[in-house]
Amino acid sequence: DGGITQSPKYLFRKEGQNVTLSCEQNLNHDAMYWYRQDPGQGLRLIYYSQIVNDFQKGDIAEGYSVSREKKESFPLTVTSAQKNPTAFYLCASTGSMENEQFFGPGTRLTVL
Amino acid sequence: GQSLEQPSEVTAVEGAIVQINCTYQTSGFYGLSWYQQHDGGAPTFLSYNALDGLEETGRFSSFLSRSDSYGYLLLQELQMKDSASYFCAVRDRWGGGGSYIPTFGRGTSLIVHP
């Protein structure tokens, strides 16, 4: 079955540590996205990538970094520079000229 | 800046019809989408409107008026499983490479009572 996987589902880290969230898709989509969702809030765009080896900052990129070395993979690193990293992180992808964004199950990150 | 407004919460009873409104102010507009998200889950796509008018998909319909910067999602024959958050999202930026960048609203929590 085609889809997007994110791991792990729950992640706990100590303050000051960098952490990398995994996102893999087998939908053959070119575009991939990372969103952050806080309780009672909408989805805010962190980074997006339209093609391998290229990515762009979204609306709240500070304290985050990404890479896109393979079409299938778009990992997100939450660095110690992110002031309030506890949140639900969602990865998404979309095919060229398609209307729908497909979302992964999300990773809930808690920084202690 | 970009802004999307939708009610924070809507309640209704099983079998009823409910309408969730979305008004937007964005610098660009390429279309309006709706997504459903159950607690702790991933958003799933419901509908998309690029042109004015009504799009119907089963029990769900979505409407767009570009001149009014307004759209709505209509849910008919409500079921308990429809209890979820509903997000409108405006495609307001072109990301290049054939894909748009959406801006999401804060979401409307729909509570369906028996």
pLDDT of B1? 63
With beta carbons less than 8 A apart as the criterion, state whether A96 and A30 touch: yes
The residue-averaged pLDDT of B84-104 equals 85
The contact set of A with B (CB < 8 A) is 30-31, 33, 35, 40-45, 48, 50-51, 56, 58, 90, 94, 96-106
Candidates A30, A42, A45; nearest CB to B101: A45
Write out pLDDT tens, residues B8-45: 999 999 999 999 999 999 888 989 999 999 998 999 99
Residue A98 has pLDDT above 80, yes or no: no
CA distances from A47 to A57, A78, B56, B107, B110 (A): 5, 12, 32, 21, 29
With beta carbons less than 8 A apart as the criterion, state whether B15 and B75 touch: no
Write out pLDDT tens, residues A14-70: 988 999 999 999 999 999 999 999 987 889 999 999 999 999 999 999 999 999 999
Nearest CA in chain A to B90: A99
Contact B104 A43 (CB under 8 A): yes
CA-atom Rg of chain A in angstroms? 13
Candidates A96, A100, A104; nearest CB to B98: A96
Residue B98 has pLDDT above 70, yes or no: no
CA distances from B113 to A21, A56, B9, B10, B81 (A): 37, 43, 13, 11, 10
Nearest CA in chain B to A49: B95
Nearest CA in chain B to A41: B106
Q: Quote the CA–CA distance of A3 and B27 in Å, as a whole number.
A: 32
pLDDT band for position B4 (cuts 50, 70, 90): very high
Contact B45 A96 (CB under 8 A): no
